[in-house]
Amino acid sequence: EENLMGAKNPSGSFSRTEILERSPDRPINSTRLWVRVADVMQKDVVTICPDETSATATKIMADKSVSSVVVVDNSRVVGILTETDLLKKVMPTNGPVEELKISQIMSAPAKVISPDLFVLDAGVIMKTKHIKRLPVVTHDRLVGIVTQTDIFLAMEAKFARHKRSLKVIPKIVKRWYKT
């Protein structure tokens, strides 16, 4: 697993400070301070073992209507298998596709984040790493997953609340001037 939670270390992990420094043209706003990954992540994560087959993974993904499964071994996240992995790695093979093991086609090591990370920071990681979802771990245990859609919906909700509050301000100002 690639830990994207703490200080930068030789494994190439991101620190929150480094992420903030990567976007100096964008000021830190209050949304970054309010919304954490724990607030928007999905806690019911579909998982699979690395020794399962691509056929099993495809069936699970179809049955659960998900575009990825987190690969776990002894409760540790070891990879992630996405629809893209299946298309790029399974379809081109000439052999029996049903026998391919997840460990052969998963994206590994998995990039993981902490539930305490700010949502916008998770978005920056997704953008810089060109990924659409991040498993969320605490003490090496999977606790959730956050997707680009989760982040978008969280920011949309924050913006909508902020926008509503901005509409109230002119009414308050008018009342001040009337008195």
Q: How far apart are CA 18 and CA 41, in angstroms?
A: 23
Closest CA to 40 of 147, 179, 168: 147
Q: Which comes out higher in pLDDT, residue 4 or 83?
A: 83
* Tens digit of each residue's pLDDT (9 = 90 or more) over 118-172: 888 899 899 999 999 999 999 999 999 999 999 888 877 777 666 655 565 566 5
For 40-55, how does the pLDDT look when each residue is reduced to its tens digit (9 = 90+)?
999 999 999 999 999 9
Structure tokens at 171: 């009414």
- Report in angstroms the alpha-carbon separations of 123 from 94, 96, 133, 157: 37, 37, 9, 16
Nearest to 44 by CA among 134, 118, 142: 142
